[in-house]
Amino acid sequence: MSILLKNIFSLLDATFIGNHPENTIENVSIDSRSLHHNPQTLFFCLIGQNNNGHDYIEELIEKGVRNFVVSQQITTQNPNVNFLVVKNTLKALQQFAAFYRKKFNFPVIGITGSNGKTIVKEWLNFLLSPEYTIIRSPKSYNSQVGVPLSVIGINEHHNLGIFEAGISTVNEMENLEAIIQPTIGVLTNIGSAHDEGFGHLGEKIKEKLKLFPNVEVLIYNKNKSIDAFLDPKINTFSWSSSDKNAAVLIHHKTIKNETNLNITYQNTCFKFKIPFSDDASIENVIHCLMVLFYLKYDFETIQHRLSLLYPIEMRLKVKKGINNTTLIDDSYSSDFQSLKIALDFLESQKQHHKKTLILSDIFQSGLENDDLYTRLSLMIISNKINRIIGIGETISRYHTKFLNGTFFNSKAEFLEQFDQLNFDNETILIKGARHFHFEEIVSLLEERTHETVLEINLNALTHNLNYYRAKVKPNTKIMVMVKAFSYGSGGLEIAKLLEYQRADYLGVAFADEGITLKGNGINLPIMVLNPENSSFESIIQHQLEPEIYSFKGLHSFLKIAKQKRLIDFPIHLKIDTGMHRLGFEEPQVSELVTILKNNKTVKVKSILSHLATSDEEANREFALEQIEKFDRISSQLQTELEISPLRHILNTSGISNFPEAQYDMVRLGIGLYGFSNQSNEQIFLEPVGTLKSIISQIRTIQAGESIGYGRRFIAKNEMRIATIPIGYADGIRRSWGDGIGYVLIKKQKATILGSICMDMMMVDVTTISCVEGNEVIILGEDPSILEMAKKLDTIPYEILTGISQRVKRIFYRE
């Protein structure tokens, strides 16, 4: 991209404020946290529910950005900075992308549907890449923002585009059609995703079809529901397993893990074999096959390439590595666009000062190699990567463009030298094209633990954070609780995400939790809720902020603070308004004022209390009495101490039930992790954790034989029993056994038989077709922690925080 700024004014109907209309624009950004900014960046200040790009203009100017698209009044007077003032910055971004798209004239495949969009896009990229230089949406960039950013990645070397479009309600698809401007349309499966945004199925289908009014052909699975809304002017190329009016008839038969496709097309019969057996994959493969038919690929080429298709890994995974390393596993793709995303994710999750990139040859960039690897080198420098390890003949040829690099012509050469590369105390991003099989490298670097893991979905965490952010007033801060190992989900990794997502404060229970976070580079202020007097020295040393709830604690802290000659060290005063757990009571306020009045050693950063019944409608009056009492006491402290601290009393349930009491800050706890005590709110939260294991062994037992300790289960008939390597030492209560609980294997329930052991449990797989090594879902969407808590007469907190730290946490982003 190389566009003069002055050529964009009329396109966006923008008012220009600045002195440099001749500036050249070479890239576009919407994320102030990205490390790819430079003077040639055009930054669109988008306004969302939870963030406003205008708030980061000064920060971006310091990073070198000189060109902004804005919709709010600007106070910056820097003569070197240009502003394009528009009515709506999102609309401006979309207009710019549509303008840029029109500069290129080559086939573009536009994909939409409820399910399968990203899989079909990635498979088409694999199937067509030998003949085309392809630009495609990175990952699942298919939204009102993601689509324009994807299209802006086109350059003059590309000759085919593959873009997906996702919508969540009506009146969105027209915007995306104008940006993608597809010539070939693919409509994938229409399912229940985002049903809440549409009045009925017909409305959803009608909206999806708005991507295709100008295509030369639409490929879809022919059925009456779609045909009812299809414009007869659109040329279609349909398939079906039952409708003989479809252009292609397809029947399939699955044998073990493969499927045979029997196809009738243009009075000719074909047979293809594909390496999948599930219905979703079969349908996705057929859509790809139809594109190959339309582009006139021959039978032999189609059969060969379909046989090479592989499951698409949709996640960036964070894992613990050997020698205190942290791994970011993106080992299934290597292209310029997705590398940018992976590097930004690396920045958000870095847990060490040292950052290493293991990278294969880059494919499908649309750039000449010299230009590509020059840009790649600059990107790596801007992301402050300390070491690059390049694997592949092409990247090795351009090794002189990189600083601090080690290069190998093949993965085999790398593996031979692995022990000499000294991986230690660093964050490592592994990014490789599929055929390099970098999963072997990940396996070498990964810390060995037992095969039970808790997968943490960082997208879900971000969604839940934003859900509660939307309930909070713009000027109200959010403290997020990461105590108890982030409610069992993994403290440091989640703290990194929260810092990246611009949380205002973190809360921990004890000093050692905060010390660990500070020691690993967390810069957010951290409040310690239950500090012990013996920890005050460490709290001061690590710049943590103690909650003070008693005179004993206050005097102890002041004594140490005075010895260290501290000035205005931040403390937080806890008021007991009815919880009767910790805090100063109302009659003690006068004495508290006397001690703190004119005391320069400490500074009261906040005054807080805790609601005892924020989630109980029956005790709403008690909660209101607590709020009234808090308001009275905190106001008295503010007046008599002549201070203006933050005030906060609301926890997760309080945020929703008492919005009038948000004060200056709220404390988000269990809601971040996907749990609410209110059913009408629970449906809007996303589950964060999935506890998984595998089948260690399968055996057959006869009628009359017993299972486990105490012979608590006796078989009445012949049964197949699977042993799973997880038990009560991992956090699964013994009371979940004896036929009460279950696990999921191959999407089928397997009842837990007999007593749960310390490290194992046994389940009934008599009616389930499974083998040793198959995945087992212990907790997740089904069975859910909420279901387990209800059956065991406890609360989700207890189950979530009870998952042992010997269970490996794997963090991923979709």
Mind telling me the catalytic residues? 483, 709
Written as one string, the DSSP assignment of 209-232 is GGG-TT-SEEEEE--HHHHTT--T
Six token digits for residue 42:
């055009």
Half-sphere exposure of 612 (CA within 13 A, CB side): 15
Structure tokens at 47: 């306004």
**Which of 69, 115, 64 minimizes the C-alpha distance to 92?**
69
Asked if residue 772 lies in contact with residue 695, where contact means CB atoms within 8 angstroms, the answer is yes
d(CA 764, CA 36) in angstroms, rounded, equals 53
Query: Sign of the C-alpha dihedral, residues 702, 708, 711, 715?
Result: negative
Nearest to 185 by CA among 157, 167, 208, 169: 208
* C-alpha span between 132 and 364 (Å, rounded): 8
CB 346 within 8 A of CB 448: no
Half-sphere exposure of 35 (CA within 13 A, CB side): 19
- 491 membership: H or E segment, kind and range: helix 491-500
Question: In what helix (H) or strand (E) does residue 593 lie, and over which residues does it extend?
Answer: helix 589-596
**165 touches 14 (CB < 8 A):** no
Identify which of 567, 565, 549, 531 has the alpha carbon closest to the alpha carbon of residue 609.
Answer: 549
3-class secondary structure per residue, 47-115: ECCCCEHHHHHHHHHHCCCCEEEECCCCCCCCCCCEEEECCCHHHHHHHHHHHHHCCCCCCEEEEECCE
Token pair for residue 415? Answer: 């593996």
Provide the 8-state DSSP code for 685: S
Listed residue (434, 461, 318) closest to 808, CA to CA = 318
Give dist(CA 96, CA 46) in Å, integer: 14
Residue 603's CB: how many other CB atoms inside 10 A?
16
Instruction: List the one residue out of 165, 161, 156 whose CA is nearest residue 124.
Output: 161
SS3 740: coil
